[in-house]
A and B are shown apart, each in its own frame.
Chain A
């Protein structure tokens, strides 16, 4: 079979594109090299919807950031993904930095960012009392927001799959042939044929483009390390707090997450290895020191975990979105670093437009459903709702993860969902089971047993996140 479109890479960009294309009568396949979606940059970033004053006016970054930021709330609404319009503050600590804020404000106006303003020290400390008292003022962007990026990706994939897109996992494209107007994507074992290819391969987008002889851009993985803090830190700030960019860099941010944790980071270090997700002692301590400058009351305690992500930095310094010069049926969606998440919904629309310009306008399917129903979230329910749901299905009465109050019913739902979880981390990202302060110490083995039972996979074949990441090696003596 020949697909109309193959999207390579099921990160937030690939999955949102898949969702847009699922409106049409197209045979679309979403190809992912991992055992689950959201495995690259999508699972480890700042989770912020930037207002849009950062990007240089006239760039794709600027245009798509502002558009995407505007679309994000309704996309999240349709997909039942947590989104909070918290607003953001860029805090200045000197007269010189106040000047930088003026520049950012001006840039924001050019980019048409709504409601931007510079606020003085008094107002700043009134709305964020834990910010350093030495602050001069801040650039306040009320339209900035926080989302859960991997949940957005999972939800978009689910919605796309429900509307007919096929998800193929564990398919790493190793080479691409083009013959008679058809691409053949080859993995080590298998191949997939498609008329059009959309390259959403994240940090590997240049490698993928290279397979059709497109060497027009290169991607450098730029590592960002983060530290996630326990919910007991919630409330230390209510908005995203950025530091004023200086010659020394952009500084670090501190932000609430949609799940009421606190996230600090990132660092910014170019690395060679596109799989290098190791955290470092230097990175963790850099982030802590940086954040202590903007929020001195902040003490690093109650660390839940630290992690790092790789931004796909393009040598063009802008998003690379468009038909490849090497083959016009191959569409690059590359270099999607910050503000890539913010721009994601607009990028998907933009790519849709490019594709339609190639294949002609398409009618929207009569049975297309843009909505993804919200999964059961026992921890968010009232006592009456809890009673009701357990009556309907007693599996919701069995709590598996006590730190995050996740029930067996929710874990089964996550596995049975379209494009459902196949491994322990997949369950974790869909339900939060194992994301709390005990990090799966108590529920981990129960989750392994549930996956094994529901998927009919032997216990020793269950993985943490696909590949060789098995949890157990076999029976005891």
Chain B
């Protein structure tokens, strides 16, 4: 058994920022458990730029963004265990047990006052989509292809169709083009892209790669290796319109059809998972329902920018520090947040009204809105009502609620965010 004040599970952008923040706030014994051979998580394979505009005010590549944080560890006493996979979390207030395995140390139990869950997310695979046809080689998630190309230096194919317009898919459309592949089309089931607008412009439009909205892959062809796909437009119920079916020859199908927070450990630990975010339910300190267990980054909800992950994780790190030092509120009074009329989810899901800082609520909408208002209320009180030129599912929004406002909220009410059109 190894004892720590804080165990951070995951050494990607979330885990790093949380650990560093906790150390900065005075937590002395911290360990980061990371399954890969390096810190940095998925940033290591994101060699494109676009990271850090918000947080550092400059445009960095993924590895550069990660290295800024990795450097900071040198001036701390934080222990880092690489190539180490956590296989179980046993919550027990103040003395949680985290079990991990590694080649170097074998099976080790860690006992921690507080835990930060920062396991990130994974990509939705083909099976979840249930596309008809054969099962040849040549079909993979965009992230897997990204690893082959950027880390291993190998190309999966030459003629590419991308299903889904998530950011990784858009980035890979450009990357494969740079490597001499022909990206024939990006198909998006929804009438809008789930990726960032800047990626649509820089990764597709600049390279004349067509983006077909309301379109999907309905069949896969090829026995051993992928030979082609049939794509078709879909109607408003997302059912394929067979008259529009079209065969496209390709040897690679990349899937960028959504990310799922990686919450196997959270689930087996008994944490309640939000059906919409697929992450644990947390308060404004990113503390879960189990005291002393925090969650941040993509394990909590999928972010569109790493800068936001960093910000959120610092909140979790500070929250964990407060808890470890015995400064946390022992008598919290919670009210829930709730998204209606187009707001799909809000993080945090609940707010302790005895908090001493302003709270930023992050949310996503379920469809594209133009010139709509974001209205925030609590009971009869209208907290804010601001006009937005555009709201899209691919771009996370936020609203701030001031401490002096929420401290007096009705303890039996809830904070509601909604979209008002027109």
Instruction: Report A's interface with B, CB cutoff 8 A.
Output: 227-228, 275, 277-281, 283-284, 303-307, 383, 386-387, 390-391, 394-395, 397-399, 402-403, 405, 407-408, 437-442, 444-445, 449, 459-460, 463-477
Contacts and interface: CB of A to CB of B under 8 A. Distances in A.
A475 to B, nearest CB: 6
Contacts of B126: 305, 439
A476 B127 contact: no
Most buried by A among B122, B127, B141: B127
B223 interface: yes
A437 B278 CA distance: 14
Contacts of A441: 122-123, 125, 140-141, 143-144
Interface in B131-158: 132-137, 140-141, 143-144, 147-149, 152-158
B225 A476 contact: no
B102 A398 contact: yes
A204 to B, nearest CB: 15
Interface stretch (B103-111, B348-356, B401-409): B103-111
A279 B132 contact: yes
A75 B180 CA distance: 53
Give chain A's interface secondary structure class: mixed
Contacts of A460: 154
A466 B223 CA distance: 11
B132 A445 contact: no
A441 B99 CA distance: 24
Given A279-B133, A390-B107, A398-B103, A473 B122 contact: no
B224 interface: yes
B137 A439 contact: no
Contacts of A459: 152, 154
B101 interface: yes
A394 B132 contact: no
A469 B136 contact: yes
A377 B175 CA distance: 39
Contacts of A305: 126-127
Given A469-B136, A469-B137, A476-B149, A303 B122 contact: no
B148 A472 contact: yes
Counting from the closest, the 4 A-B pairs by CB-CB distance are A305-B127, A439-B125, A469-B137, A468-B224
B179 A394 contact: no
Contact of B180 (A307, A470, A472, A477): A477
Interface residues of B, number: 50
B35 interface: yes
A464 B139 CA distance: 11
Contacts of B152: 445, 449, 459
Nearest to A307: B135
B350 to A, nearest CB: 25
A445 B35 contact: no
A438 B135 contact: no
B190 to A, nearest CB: 19
A473 B106 contact: no
A346 B180 CA distance: 56
B289 interface: no
B83 interface: yes
Given A386-B107, A399-B87, A402-B85, A475 B153 contact: yes
B327 interface: no
Nearest to A398: B103
Contacts of A386: 101, 106-107
Interface in B184-226: 218-220, 223-225
A467 to B, nearest CB: 4
A473 B127 contact: no
B130 interface: yes
Contact of A477 (B87, B136, B179, B251): B179
B225 A468 contact: yes
Contacts of A437: 125
Contacts of A391: 106
Nearest to B133: A278
A305 B124 CA distance: 12
B128 interface: yes
Given A277-B134, A460-B154, 4 more contacts: A305-B126, A306-B127, A469-B136, A472-B155
B153 A476 contact: yes
A382 to B, nearest CB: 10
B133 A397 contact: no
B336 to A, nearest CB: 25
Interface string B85-113: 10100000000000101111111000000
Given A280-B132, A442-B122, A445-B144, A402 B106 contact: no
Contacts of B155: 472-476
A283 B251 CA distance: 26
Contacts of B85: 398-399, 402
B143 to A, nearest CB: 7
B127 A439 contact: yes
B107 A304 contact: no
Contacts of B251: 473
B153 A471 contact: no
Contacts of B104: 394, 397
A475 B154 contact: yes
B154 A472 contact: yes
A67 B133 CA distance: 37
